[in-house]
Structure 1
């Protein structure tokens, strides 16, 4: 077993859209291709990339993590049963890295981790979801994954009517649950911003027949406690699917205060990038395992090796994997959701192309999607993404 080659590139995913905290006018993503030979005549290439919201990491990849992975020999890369030892390769990439500091480093490692799992599944001739179910769930895989359409971004000139039309398109694609951004009115007093957002929310709810369980709202961490409480009091009667990341993701004590006052589901976690950060959220954030949603993104948080540790920690603290609905809207997390029995997965039908969305010929039916039976993660079956990855 050896690494034959590793190549990386940077791909723009820039857009005029914005959430309540950042715009995406300069957004980029790292892409990698890791070619592995198993010594028995099999040669496969695994692909990886980082999720939206974090920029490409060419420097960290080139200076630290790719050289460490290239230096791995048979004793590191081959498991006892002859399969690719992704856990061993991950440990080699993290050698000489101090604890803590889980920012951009976790993104770079996550890109390579994704490619290694893609390669590992291809070497075994299995879809990644099947490999994960066989290894970690006694062979049990979900028949399909629940997915929701994430959108509702701010855009120059976009009014309530355009927002509703966007949500109509998602429903037409087979989604039953949608998510929209709130809290993004710049330089506006809380009272005025809330009034504007309530009008937007009520318009989308009208489209959904008044069913708040089919709508989630996302603040992207912009609020302080006062604004979060004011919005929470106004949102509570709608019984929304969830109220997402209203506060800074690392302000656990304030999250706990909000949870004392807001009874419907909260969602957070997409900007926590390690098992230890996730554990601090569970210990100190006041979240409730019977209703709240955890959105840790394996592509941003050191990859699946670390995500497996996070799931183990959650179960030790009384949380079901079904409370996990990863951020990112990519095929990697979708495979993980099906193989490990998570609660579902995000989807980006109209933004963050070509990385958002799933295989080209796998339609969403009544809010659920079935996985194709293709070796690896299945990037080759997503036409617009494969057009980018194959150039590596």
Structure 2
């Protein structure tokens, strides 16, 4: 049993939208196929992966460093002790060979993307959904296939007015979501408040709005928004300042006592630990958004979950960024609090298998081997082009 080839392709997921910090007009991602010599129904088992939106494709790093390290390693050394499957932890260690600690940068995205494809292959070799495999190996053995999801949208784009913004949010509610998210910080505070009021006029009892500043604010601006946002019962106030400015995050707690969220741009267990140590986050109300596809993959995410447990946090306070099926499987298998969703953006890479519907804010994962990419027709068509 071995990996015989790893392929990467950089693809465009461009869109004329923007948040408070970047536009997505030139956004790309890396699509990866890990081809094994294990045969199922006359075909090789192939694992697929891709990185989340907001970071660009990492093909050069993969092709120059991480893919060669896997292929040059002794194939037997990358298997489980029983020799009956690939071992993601050993493969991760091979990728990290000759890498210094710290300075995580974009290498965490490159490794995380390959790691996703490895886990897809591992679960397919065992002929199990990844969420079931994770529950058996690292959880209580019983996955919860019903996962909370929220609709991420409310971006700024040319020609948008309040009527179009309300129509967008109504469309999410009509599709079964109970929590929606909009961007803030890309307009004035007064205009952002008017946008919030417009959306709240659409929502009904039991439906909530989250807001996301994408790390745009300095402390004074973050405080000004916090004071203004305190009048609303928001689901959360997300990433107000630079992701690594833990002092800003901690200081802001003095001005905002409602739920906050951050972590999508922290790409290692060590950075996540510093947030928990120094960021003033409260495990009874705040949310953590670490995204395995950007932060060295599931192997590292398991380390992060263990760190959280040691610091008194429940995995149920994690709702990952990214809107991809990998995090959905982690949520179902390891008891996370839910997952982000992009109903209309970054397709075909976001979303759920075709038969999955949102019902009262939740989706139920189907019984598909691996991550479940094969259940989403437009996505698996693109993936199979890479592996053909």
Corresponding residue of 1:106: 108
Displacement of 1:2: 0.9
Q: Out of 246, 250, 274, which is 2:244 matched to?
A: 250
TM-score by length of 1: 0.96
SS in 2 for 1:391: helix
Corresponding residue of 1:47: 48
Corresponding residue of 1:73: 74
User: Do structure 1's residue 203 and structure 2's residue 198 form an aligned pair?
Assistant: yes
Q: Out of 362, 366, 369, which is 1:372 matched to?
A: 366
Corresponding residue of 1:342: 336
d(CA) in 2 for partners of 1:336, 1:158: 35
d(CA) in 1 for partners of 2:78, 2:140: 24
d(CA) in 1 for partners of 2:273, 2:59: 29
d(CA) in 1 for partners of 2:141, 2:59: 37
Check the 8 A contact 1:2/1:73 in 2, yes or no. Answer: no
The gaps in structure 1 that reach 5 residues or longer are 186-192
Corresponding residue of 2:189: 194
- Which string of whole-angstrom CA distances, capped at 9 and with x for unpartnered residues, describes residues 163-191 of structure 1? 11000111111111100001102xxxxxx
Displacement of 1:236: 1.0
Corresponding residue of 1:58: 59
Q: Out of 291, 303, 307, which is 1:297 matched to?
A: 291
Corresponding residue of 2:87: 85
d(CA) in 2 for partners of 1:237, 1:355: 36
Q: What is the RMSD computed on CA atoms of the aligned residues?
A: 1.4
Which stretch of the first structure deviates more once superposed, 382-391 or 280-289?
Answer: 382-391
d(CA) in 1 for partners of 2:180, 2:61: 35
Displacement of 1:260: 2.1
SS in 2 for 1:202: helix
Displacement of 1:74: 3.4
d(CA) in 2 for partners of 1:128, 1:163: 36
SS in 1 for 2:201: helix
Displacement of 1:73: 2.4
The gaps in structure 2 that reach 5 residues or longer are none
SS in 2 for 1:120: helix
Check the 8 A contact 2:39/2:45 in 1, yes or no. Answer: no
Check the 8 A contact 2:354/2:376 in 1, yes or no. Answer: yes
Check the 8 A contact 1:152/1:179 in 2, yes or no. Answer: yes
User: Do structure 1's residue 323 and structure 2's residue 325 form an aligned pair?
Assistant: no
User: What is the number of residues matched between the two proteins?
Assistant: 384
Q: Aligned ranges for residues 1-392 of structure 1 at < 5 Å?
A: 1-38=1-38, 43-81=44-82, 82-185=84-187, 193-209=188-204, 214-392=208-386
d(CA) in 2 for partners of 1:73, 1:369: 41
Displacement of 1:39: 9.0
Displacement of 1:31: 0.5
Displacement of 1:52: 0.1
SS in 2 for 1:30: strand
Residues 146, 268 of structure 1: alpha-carbon distance in 2 compared, 3 angstrom cutoff: same
Check the 8 A contact 1:2/1:72 in 2, yes or no. Answer: no
d(CA) in 1 for partners of 2:353, 2:227: 40
Displacement of 1:38: 4.6
